[in-house]
Amino acid sequence: MTSTEKIIIGIDAGTSVIKSVAFDLSGRQIATASVRNRYATGDDGSATQSLSQTWLDCASALRGLGEKVPDLASRTAAVAVTGQGDGTWLVGRGNAPVADAWLWLDARAAPTVTSLVGGKQNRARFEATGTGLNTCQQGAQLAHMDRFTPDLLDRAETALHCKDWLYLNLTTVRATDPSEASFTFGNFRTRQYDAVVIDALGLSHRRTLLPEIIDGTEISHPLTPEAARACGLLTGTPVCLGYVDMVMTALGAGVRSGARNAACSTIGSTGVHMRAKSVADVQLNHEGTGYVIALPIPSIVTQVQTNMGATINIDWILNVAAYLMAEAGGKPASHADLIARIDGWFAESRPGSVLYHPYISEAGERGPFVNANARAGFTGLSTRHGFPDLLRSVVEGLGLATRDCYEAMGAMPEELRVTGGATRSVALRRSLSAAVNAPIRQSRRDETGAAGVAMMAAVAVGVYSSMDDCIADWVTPLLGEAEIPDANEAARFDRLFSAYTDVRQATAPAWDKLAAAATTSPAGE
């Protein structure tokens, strides 16, 4: 690439890291720069982040990219921004922060969620948004603030999300995108705010806090002189507001290709399972869980279920192994060393009857069911089982949890695209493929979230006439060969899944009793 060829920058402001990534106009990743994110947690369940620091860190990541890419400022055709979803980022007079942001990790709204979910209007809210109410969401958080800290909302003029806050600093425009607007306060069919939803949340009197909705594939705003100086870019560079990071990651990883809808799972600390569908094909479950999130493609949405713990289950059992190895006086094993041994341990184990339910997060589970008291456990152990068998059951448990999530959205996918570092494991890919009984393809795209949002900019500035045209160049060539599930393994997973759901449903009352026992002080204390 010469130093005159044009570039699109994708910004992905995640919970842990803010990344800026440069792509050429055909989708080749050129360089990336990142800055670690910082947030604070409290004993009251709070998880907060400084708005001002987040903007400074974003600008720093962009300047870092400029140090790696020659003539970045003059070559940048557009900038696009996505970021962590949910949460509440309040701004007031002069676009100044009102308080630190409440992140999606913040649990303080739990009692308000319980109250709202039990309300008469909650099902109507769910039917409009396609999204189960939880403490992560801005709607629940605003409702909680309105009840307990109304002064915060009295001082606020606009409620934004993370990417919206960065867009405001880049352009001075207060706006949000159709995806977060519709799954929180609107209707996924219209991609607009819905009065029934806002009323169900008890927020009709706070309606003025909700910003304008804009679609970043159609509308851009110029980079301001102040932001240009801070970021090392040129004033007037087009800036596009992306959709929420979940769907940007899925878009970049192949949730749609060849103008056809597909399924995509991101296996990270959490598991995010998504199916692209036409609006007419969405199936809302009786339990009222999951999300329906718009894609930047007309009339196409993603239906989403997320399980709280994915690779953190593998981390847990590997940490147990590392502890025992150290206690035995062996050579300390690094996490990377243990990760490299997973496929070998898996090969030593025997396919058996051990089940593992991967609810290792202390926050419980949120998909496809919601239970804050849900906890992990092994079922079916006997004296013949050893560590490799336990490891196998943990890996297979992630496959079964993935199937549980897709089952809640209808029929199993015809093909599953996967992303996330853990999917480098052959054992995990084979378990996922057998669990859903579908071919699996691994995305070779490194920065799928940044790529997804950069694709929006590529359409917005006219590099491509449609998102499907862009996908053909940016996504499809980076999908690996299809790995076909073994028929015998798929049949075994069918049997395991039946037992898996039976155990999950039967154990739920015990989880609640364990939680109650843990909060009850012994007599005499």
When pLDDT is averaged across residues 79-100 and rounded to a whole number, the result is 96
The amino acid sitting at 297 is I
Residue 324, number of CB atoms within 10 A of its CB: 11
Query: Residue 79 — very low, low, confident or very high, per pLDDT cuts 50/70/90?
Result: very high
Distance CA 104, CA 48 (A): 9
Q: Using only C-alpha atoms, what is the Rg of the chain?
A: 23
Indicate if the pLDDT at residue 427 is higher than 80: yes
Average pLDDT, the chain: 92
The CATH architecture of the domain made up of 7-247 is 2-Layer Sandwich (3.30)
Please name which of 134, 415, 483, 433 lies closest in space to residue 291, comparing C-alpha atoms.
134
3 Cβ neighbours under 8 A, 6+ residues apart = 70, 71, 75
Report the sign of the C-alpha dihedral through residues 36, 40, 41, 43, in that order. Answer: positive
What is the mean predicted confidence (pLDDT) over 55-68? Answer: 98
CA-based angle 444:449:453, to the nearest 5? 120
Residue 525 has pLDDT above 50, yes or no: no
**Count of beta carbons in the 10 Å neighbourhood of residue 331:** 7
pTM (two decimals):
0.88
Antiparallel, parallel or unpaired: β 212-213 and 158-160: unpaired
Establish how many alpha carbons lie within 13 A of residue 198's alpha carbon, considering only the half-sphere containing its beta carbon: 15
**Mean pLDDT of all residues in 163-187:** 97
d(CA 134, CA 519): 23
Indicate the SS3 state at residue 311: helix
pLDDT tens digits, 190-227: 999 999 999 999 999 999 999 999 999 999 999 999 99
Q: What is d(CA 494, CA 485) in angstroms, rounded to the nearest whole number? A: 13
Determine the Cα–Cα distance for residues 134 and 501; give it in Å rounded to an integer: 23
Tell me which of 249-263, 447-461, 495-509 is least confident.
Answer: 249-263
Enumerate residues 6+ apart whose C-beta is below 8 A from 203.
139, 142, 143, 146, 185, 209
> What pLDDT, in 10s, does the model give residues 385-426?
999 999 999 999 999 999 999 998 888 898 999 988 778 888
Give dist(CA 83, CA 9) in Å, integer: 14
pLDDT for the residue 196: 97
Q: What is the pLDDT of residues 251-302, one digit of tens each?
A: 999 998 888 888 999 888 888 999 999 999 998 888 888 999 999 999 999 9
Separation CA 11–CA 62 (nearest Å) = 8
Q: What is the DSSP letter of 21?
A: E
Domain boundaries, the chain: 7-247, 258-442+486-518
- The share of the chain scoring above pLDDT 70, in percent, equals 98
Which strand (E) or helix (H) includes residue 495? helix 487-518
Same-fold call for 7-247 versus 258-442+486-518: yes
Tell me the pLDDT tens digit for each residue of 374-386: 899 999 999 999 9
Query: What CATH architecture is 258-442+486-518?
Result: 2-Layer Sandwich (3.30)
Burial class (CB in 10 A: 0-12, 13-18, 19+), 344: exposed
Distance CA 284, CA 4 (A): 49
Q: Return the number of other C-beta atoms located less than 10 Å from residue 28's C-beta.
A: 12
